[in-house]
């Protein structure tokens, strides 16, 4: 295969330490270990895909076996050893794919082979790629040889899953964690490759490639290769074409959406989203990019353009900075929470597109000033009420807690409820507890208290009850949490062997029965029965006066 017919990732694969990018500290450490003849028994390279683990392994093998030595490592005219290592045909440098040779028998064959010294070089080297794929038995078989190998034997391991390798193996290796390549370095690197290939690619398109590759050099070269092959001759790959090829959309459209959301322009928000959806962008991709942009809006003052990993260009970064100045951080935090929730919702709905539109509409109402004002008020909604009459007044004189500014002005001081009306309440009786449940709309809790609970004793911060078999299993936990929330104090809920008082519902039923019995003894009832023998008395309502 000629060099020109290779894909870019192979064509421009580094052959010397000087060709590597983004791994300066690792390279310096390895070179020093070889220079001072303190070469470890085993190297272990770990990191994400495409950052040079196998490439460094081969360069290390060349450095140890090059006929010209480390200082004059072959560059253009390769020596016999370097040429054979480059072509994976060297007798003393064995490169193994652990994904296909995972068993203990494969490792035993390797150990048996290691008993013989190198035939034409300084060291016999075993490069094991994706070493985490070896079985537990295979790792165990390797331990002794790994700890005390012959002087001529070196191991080089590469893996993306360091946690899957037994600690006993890791401790016998010199571990090197390869970092993601920085955006600026990767950008300059693929720009040079583009120039060598005589490709016409705009800087904005290159930045998009860097962003998508997430610090992986191989991914960046593969994307660049794809972009160059898609273009017709003498045409430039600009940002618009790159976004279509790689399935990404312009982030400025998302910035427009957030700006329209903050302005409360629902029509334009939905129009902008539908335009993005028509470009073929998946709802989940949209939401993840939306989350990323919210992060930039929230933290833009502590970020630099470089730290955004080329997700934004200069103009977009300046726009975000300008817009975020006029918006409280609380709004973006709320946006973040709502956006995380919609990711869960997308799993449950069949038409994800409609769900996204409703989500964007919700954000519009969430960002309205009157909503923000009342959100702050509602933080203090639960507060002190020491007298039962105060609770009753609040119950009979409700005022909506979420209202616009014009409504708020019309509410008089007398009729407006105390915003601190429902926190640090002094609850002194079972009946008062039921009333607080009603005010806070804790209907389920109130139902359990009335229907399935028999009160034995009620005192400060302590409730003793008995119950029937229908009581909800989470009742005690729910009641304790609510009492703490309402009173600001911890309560003890205990179960008693005593039967206790009858439940509230039973009391009401008994009262109803007594009313019916009493009514049946009245003269009016007897007169009705004489005239309508099939009449049935079902309820008695006393006169209000």
Q: Are strands 42-46 and 153-159 parallel, antiparallel or unpaired?
A: parallel
CATH of domain 251-367: 1.20.272.10
Contact indicator for 95, 88 with CB cutoff of 8 Å: yes
The answer, yes or no, to whether residue 350 has pLDDT greater than 60, is yes
> Of the CATH numbers 3.40.50.300, 3.40.50.720, 3.90.180.10, 3.30.420.40, which one belongs to the domain with range 3-177?
3.40.50.300
Cα–Cα distance measured from residue 198 to residue 220, given in angstroms and rounded to the nearest whole number: 17
Lowest mean pLDDT among 168-172, 330-334, 359-363, 501-505: 501-505
| Mean pLDDT for all residues in the chain | 81
Residue 404: predicted pLDDT? 41
Please state the domain extents for the chain. Answer: 3-177, 183-246, 251-367, 388-495, 506-545
pLDDT band at 405 (very low <50, low <70, confident <90, very high): very low
- Residue 472, classified by CB atoms within 10 Å of its CB into exposed (0-12), middle (13-18) or buried (19+), is middle
pLDDT band at 192 (very low <50, low <70, confident <90, very high): very high
370-386: per-residue pLDDT in tens?
A: 555 554 444 444 344 33
Residue 42: predicted pLDDT? 93
Q: Are strands 453-459 and 462-467 parallel, antiparallel or unpaired?
A: antiparallel
Per the structure block, which two tokens stand in for 229?
């092959």
The answer, yes or no, to whether residue 157 has pLDDT greater than 60, is yes
Segments of 6-92 assigned E as strands: 42-46
Pure H helices in 247-328: 251-263, 266-278, 283-299, 314-324
Residue 131: predicted pLDDT? 92
Count other Cβ atoms within 10 Å, centred on residue 275.
14
Cα–Cα distance measured from residue 324 to residue 338, given in angstroms and rounded to the nearest whole number: 18
pLDDT band at 399 (very low <50, low <70, confident <90, very high): very low
Residue 26: predicted pLDDT? 92
Give all strands of the β-sheet with 42-46 in edge-to-edge order: 93-97, 124-129, 153-159, 42-46, 174-177
pLDDT band at 425 (very low <50, low <70, confident <90, very high): confident
Residue 540: predicted pLDDT? 79
- In order, the DSSP letters of 214-238 are TT-HHHHHHHHHHHHHHSPTT--B-
Residue 423: predicted pLDDT? 56
Per the structure block, which two tokens stand in for 122?
């300084």
The answer, yes or no, to whether residue 461 has pLDDT greater than 50, is yes
User: Do 183-246 and 3-177 fall under one CATH topology?
Assistant: no
Q: What is the mean pLDDT of residues 346-363?
A: 87
- In order, the DSSP letters of 339-407 are HHHHHHHHTT-S-HHHHHHHHHHHHHHHT-HHHHHHHHHHHT-S----SHHHHHHHHHS---SS--HHH
CATH of domain 183-246: 1.10.8.60
Indicate the pTM of the whole model: 0.58
pLDDT band at 288 (very low <50, low <70, confident <90, very high): confident
Residue 189: predicted pLDDT? 92
CA-CA-CA-CA torsion sign (393, 399, 405, 411)? negative
407-416: per-residue pLDDT in tens?
A: 343 333 333 3
């Amino acid at each position: 295969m000629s060099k020109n017919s290779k894909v870019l990732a192979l064509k421009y694969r580094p052959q010397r330490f000087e060709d590597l990018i983004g791994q300066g500290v690792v390279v310096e450490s390895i070179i020093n270990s070889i220079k001072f003849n303190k070469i470890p028994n085993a190297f272990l390279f770990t990191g994400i895909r495409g950052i040079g683990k196998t490439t460094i392994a081969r360069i290390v093998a060349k450095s140890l076996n090059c006929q010209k030595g480390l200082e004059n490592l072959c560059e253009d005219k390769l020596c016999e050893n370097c040429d054979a290592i480059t072509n994976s045909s060297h007798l003393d440098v064995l490169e193994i794919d652990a994904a296909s040779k995972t068993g203990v028998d494969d490792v035993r064959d390797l150990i048996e082979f290691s008993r013989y010294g190198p035939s034409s070089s300084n060291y016999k080297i075993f490069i094991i790629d994706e070493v985490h794929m070896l079985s537990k038995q295979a790792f165990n078989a390797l331990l002794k040889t790994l700890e005390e190998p012959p002087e001529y034997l070196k191991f080089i391991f590469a893996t993306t899953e360091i946690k899957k390798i037994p600690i006993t193996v890791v401790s016998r290796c010199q571990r090197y964690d390869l970092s993601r390549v920085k955006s600026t370095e990767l950008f300059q690197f693929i720009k040079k490759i583009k120039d060598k290939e005589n490709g016409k690619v705009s800087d904005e398109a290159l930045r998009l490639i860097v962003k998508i590759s997430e610090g992986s050099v191989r991914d960046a070269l593969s994307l660049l290769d794809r972009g160059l092959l898609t273009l017709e001759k003498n045409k430039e790959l600009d940002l618009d074409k790159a976004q279509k090829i790689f399935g990404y959309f312009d982030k400025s459209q998302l910035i427009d959406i957030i700006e329209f959301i903050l302005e409360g322009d629902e029509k334009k928000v939905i129009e902008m989203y539908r335009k993005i959806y028509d470009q073929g962008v998946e709802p989940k991709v949209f939401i993840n990019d939306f989350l990323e942009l919210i992060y930039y809006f929230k933290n833009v003052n502590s970020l630099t353009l470089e730290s955004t990993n080329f997700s934004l260009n200069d103009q977009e970064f300046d726009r975000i900075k300008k817009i975020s100045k006029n918006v409280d951080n609380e709004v973006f935090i709320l946006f973040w929470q709502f956006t995380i929730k919609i990711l869960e919702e997308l799993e449950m709905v069949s038409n994800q597109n409609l769900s996204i539109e409703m989500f964007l509409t919700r954000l519009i109402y969430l960002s309205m000033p009157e909503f923000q004002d009342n959100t702050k008020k509602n933080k203090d909604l639960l507060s002190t009420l020491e007298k039962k009459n105060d609770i009753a007044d609040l119950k009979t004189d409700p005022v909506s807690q979420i209202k616009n500014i014009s409504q708020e002005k019309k509410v008089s001081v007398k009729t407006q409820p105390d915003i601190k009306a429902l926190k640090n309440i002094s609850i002194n009786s079972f009946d008062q507890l039921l009333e607080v449940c009603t005010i806070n709309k804790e209907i389920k809790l109130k139902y359990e208290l009335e229907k399935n609970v028999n009160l034995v004793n009620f005192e400060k911060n302590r409730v003793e009850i008995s119950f029937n078999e229908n009581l909800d299993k989470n009742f005690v936990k729910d009641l304790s949490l609510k009492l703490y929330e309402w009173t600001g104090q911890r309560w003890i809920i205990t179960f008693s062997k005593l039967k206790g008082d009858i439940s509230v519902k039973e009391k009401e039923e008994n009262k109803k029965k007594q009313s019916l019995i009493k009514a049946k003894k009245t003269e009016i009832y007897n007169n009705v029965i004489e005239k309508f023998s099939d009449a049935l008395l079902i309820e008695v309502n006393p006169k209000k006066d």
